[in-house]
């Protein structure tokens, strides 16, 4: 990656935070009813003022704020987990789903949809599925006696394939739920509001903070196992801690938004362009970039083909893929 653009945190952190707030305000204004940024700000800051339109307050607070906050958190969580896995597995190809979280979440959600468990049943099943799949992958790796990160990656890939196959089979066998399962798999924030935010927000934030605490172990793990051990890093403990925090974040993000691809892969690469690879900086920078990207993408998803809502996962892949390719070429990536 190019590194000549490297900026100090004092520069990029305020820029990203301010951009996120501005994009968030714009995002609160778009949809079936368009609100000017000034009206959004007024509804946010002075909801009970007599000069504020009550409809604006309802739209902002009841309909859109939770969704925008959730988009920001999910984007941040996917990006943070992606950055952590890219560091720990020492591959730029890693994303949050690399050790089986996506397969587990898909199976959990599919079973909940088929079993007609409504309400928060689907996100909860997705969360549980993701955590169980990661635990299984980790357990298999430990039990097999293979202690390398590569073994973990391979086990994750193998289990994901199996779980995806089961999901496909279940979809084929249940015609009437196929559409709902499919749209969940595509990932999206349609219809998400305060209950989903309250459910996914805490584990997401907890996982992200955890990852930030493990920034220095991640730096050491990036240099390879032998190097990390010679610095006295307890390898298995460190790996387990990173996997636990990253998976908590991923599972919570998937529960809220389904399988939203690309953000967790690309946001860390974008962040590395300006903040370098030290995880103490990379993790918060990736989280902010991921939040920004997903809030933007979700705004577009709501408006591009209105009144139809696009699944945001489709949009991130459609717009993000080419952008990512362009970035790799521009950056002179090895």
Partner 1 sequence: MSDVLAAEGLRCALAGRPVLDGVALHVRPGEVLALIGPNGAGKTTLLRALSRLLRPLAGTVTLEGEDVWHIRPRPLARRLALAPQGAEMWPLTVEQFVGLGRAPHRGWLLPLNDEDHQAVQAALERTGLIPLRERQVTELSGGEQRRVILARALAQQPRILLLDEPTAALDLKYQAAILGLARRLAHDDGLSVVITLHDLNQAAGVADRMALLAHGRVLALGTPNEVLTAELISTTYEVPVVVCRHPLDGSPLVSLVGEHPHMH
Interaction with partner 1 in 78-137: which residues (CB under 8 A)?
Answer: 90
Interaction with partner 1 in 255-294: which residues (CB under 8 A)?
Answer: 272, 276-278
- Nearest approach in angstroms of CB 219 to partner 1 is 6
- Nearest approach in angstroms of CB 156 to partner 1 is 22
Q: Does 9 bind partner 1 (CB under 8 A)?
A: no
Q: Rounded CA gap, 55 and 33, in Å?
A: 10
Q: Does 190 bind partner 1 (CB under 8 A)?
A: no
Question: How many residues lie near partner 1 (CB under 8 A)?
Answer: 25
> Strand runs (DSSP E) across the chain, as ranges?
none
- Nearest approach in angstroms of CB 94 to partner 1 is 14
Angle at 1 between CA 212 and CA 292, to 5 degrees: 50
Residue closer to partner 1, measured from CB, 67 or 281: 281
CA-nearest of 134, 150, 76, 67 to 100 is 134
Q: Does 329 bind partner 1 (CB under 8 A)?
A: no
CB 99 within 8 A of CB 137: yes
SS3 30: coil
Helix (DSSP H) and strand (DSSP E) numbers for the chain: 15, 0
CA 96 centroid distance within chain: 7
Interaction with partner 1 in 209-248: which residues (CB under 8 A)?
Answer: 213-214, 216-217, 219-220, 222-224, 226-227, 229-234, 238
Q: Rounded CA gap, 314 and 51, in Å?
A: 40
Q: Does 51 bind partner 1 (CB under 8 A)?
A: no
Residue closer to partner 1, measured from CB, 216 or 327: 216
Residue closer to partner 1, measured from CB, 248 or 273: 273
Contacts of residue 167, defined as CB under 8 A and 6 or more positions apart, other chains included, come to: 103, 106, 107, 110, 181, 185
Q: Does 13 bind partner 1 (CB under 8 A)?
A: no
CA-nearest of 186, 196, 216 to 73 is 196
Residue closer to partner 1, measured from CB, 232 or 329: 232
Q: Which residues contact partner 1 (rule: CB under 8 A)?
A: 1, 3, 90, 213-214, 216-217, 219-220, 222-224, 226-227, 229-234, 238, 272, 276-278
């Amino acid at each position: 990656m190019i590194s000549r653009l490297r900026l100090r945190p004092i520069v990029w952190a305020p820029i990203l935070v301010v951009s996120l707030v501005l994009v968030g305000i714009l995002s609160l204004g778009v949809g079936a009813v368009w609100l000017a940024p000034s009206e959004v700000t007024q509804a946010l800051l002075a909801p009970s003022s007599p000069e504020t339109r009550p409809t604006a307050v309802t739209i902002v607070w009841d309909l859109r704020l939770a969704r925008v906050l959730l988009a920001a958190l999910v984007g941040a969580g996917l990006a943070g987990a992606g950055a952590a896995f890219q560091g720990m597995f020492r591959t730029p190809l890693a994303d949050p789903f690399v050790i089986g979280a996506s397969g587990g979440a898909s199976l959990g959600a599919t079973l909940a949809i088929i079993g007609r468990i409504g309400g928060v049943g689907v996100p909860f099943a997705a969360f549980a599925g993701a955590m169980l799949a990661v635990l299984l992958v980790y357990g298999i790796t430990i039990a097999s006696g293979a202690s390398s990160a590569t073994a973990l990656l391979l086990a994750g890939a193998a289990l994901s394939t199996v779980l995806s196959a089961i999901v496909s089979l279940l979809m084929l066998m249940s015609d009437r739920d196929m559409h709902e399962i499919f749209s969940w798999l595509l990932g999206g924030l349609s219809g998400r509001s305060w209950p989903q935010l309250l459910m996914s927000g805490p584990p997401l934030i907890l996982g992200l903070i955890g990852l930030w605490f493990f920034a220095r172990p991640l730096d050491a793990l990036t240099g390879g196992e032998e190097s990390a051990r010679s610095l006295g890093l307890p390898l298995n403990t460190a790996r387990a801690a990173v996997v636990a925090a990253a998976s908590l974040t991923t599972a919570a993000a998937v529960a809220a938004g389904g399988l939203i691809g690309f953000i967790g892969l690309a946001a860390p690469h974008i962040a590395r362009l300006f903040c370098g690879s030290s995880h103490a900086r990379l993790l918060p920078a990736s989280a902010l970039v991921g939040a920004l990207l997903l809030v933007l993408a979700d705004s577009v998803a709501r408006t591009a083909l209105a009144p139809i809502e696009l699944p945001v996962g489709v949009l991130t892949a459609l717009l993000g893929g080419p952008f990512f390719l362009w970035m790799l070429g521009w950056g002179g990536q090895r």
